[in-house]
Amino acid sequence: MEHGRSGPEVAPVRGRAQLKQFIDLAWDIYQGDPNWVAPIRSELARMLDPARHPFWERAERELFVVRRAGRAVGRVAAILDRAHNEFSAERACAFGFFECRDDQDAAEALLLAVADWARARGLEFVRGPLNPSTNYETGLLVAGFDSPPGLMMPYNPDYYPRLLAGCGLSKEKDLFSYLLTRQEGIPQWMLDLSARINQRGGVVYRQADMARLPDEVRLMNRIYAECWSENWGFSPMSDQEIEEQARALKRIAVPELVMFIEVDGEPAGCFLALPDFNPLLRRLDGVLGPSALVKKWLFWKEIKGVRVLLFGVRKKYRAMGLPLAGVLRFMDLAHRFTRYDYLEAGWTLEDNDEVNTLIEDFGGRLHKRYRVYRRDL
Fold of the 9-174 domain: Aminopeptidase (3.40.630)
Cα separation of 166 and 179, whole Å?
31
> H or E stretch including 207?
strand 203-207
- β strands within 246-358, DSSP E: 258-263, 266-275, 305-313, 342-349
Burial class (CB in 10 A: 0-12, 13-18, 19+), 135: buried
Domain boundary assignment for the chain: 9-174, 180-369
Beta bridge partners of 94: 79, 127
Relative to beta strand 365-376, strand 125-128 is antiparallel
Closest CA to 281 of 300, 264, 262: 300
Give 54: exposed, middle or buried? Use CB within 10 Å, 0-12, 13-18, 19+: middle
What residues pair up with 138 in beta bridges, in sequence order? 130
Residues 213/249, Cβ–Cβ less than 8 Å: yes
Calculate what percentage of the chain has a pLDDT beyond 90.
70
Cross-strand partners of 176: 348, 369
Contact 146, 335 (CB under 8 A): no
Nearest to 19 by CA among 68, 62, 71: 62
Other C-beta atoms lying within 10 Å of the C-beta of residue 341: 11
Average pLDDT, the chain: 91
Angle, CA of 300, 20 and 307, to the nearest 5°: 30
* Contact partners, residue 80, CB within 8 Å, separation at least 6: 59, 60, 61, 93, 94, 118, 121, 123
- The torsion angle over the Cα atoms of residues 112, 113, 114 and 117, rounded to 10 degrees, is 120
- Cα separation, 335 vs 306, in Å, equals 11
pLDDT score of 184: 66
User: In the prediction, which pLDDT does 185 show?
Assistant: 64
Which residues are within 8 A (CB) of 250 and not within 5 positions of it... i.e. 6 or more apart?
210, 213
pLDDT in tens, 175-184: 999 999 877 6
Q: What DSSP assignment string belongs to 209-225?
A: -GGGHHHHHHHHHHHHH
Interval 116-151: pLDDT, tens: 999 999 999 999 999 999 999 999 999 999 999 999
In tens, the pLDDT along 65-108 reads 999 999 999 999 999 999 999 999 999 999 999 999 999 999 99
Q: What is the pLDDT of residues 8-46, one digit of tens each?
A: 999 999 999 999 999 999 999 999 999 999 999 999 999
**Angle between the N-to-C axes of helices 353-361 and 322-336, in degrees from 0 to 180, rounded to the nearest 10:** 40
Whole-number pLDDT of residue 4: 45
Alpha-carbon span 331 to 328, nearest angstrom: 5
**How far, CA to CA in Å, does 369 sit from each of 145, 174, 356?**
10, 7, 13
Question: What's the confidence (pLDDT) of residue 112?
Answer: 98
Q: For the domain 180-369, what is the CATH superfamily, name and number?
A: Gcn5-related N-acetyltransferase (GNAT) (3.40.630.30)
Segment 44-72 mean pLDDT: 97
Q: Indicate if 180-369 has the same CATH topology as 9-174.
A: yes
Q: Which residues pair with 175 in a beta bridge?
A: 349, 370
Within 10 angstroms of residue 290's Cβ, the number of other Cβ atoms is: 6
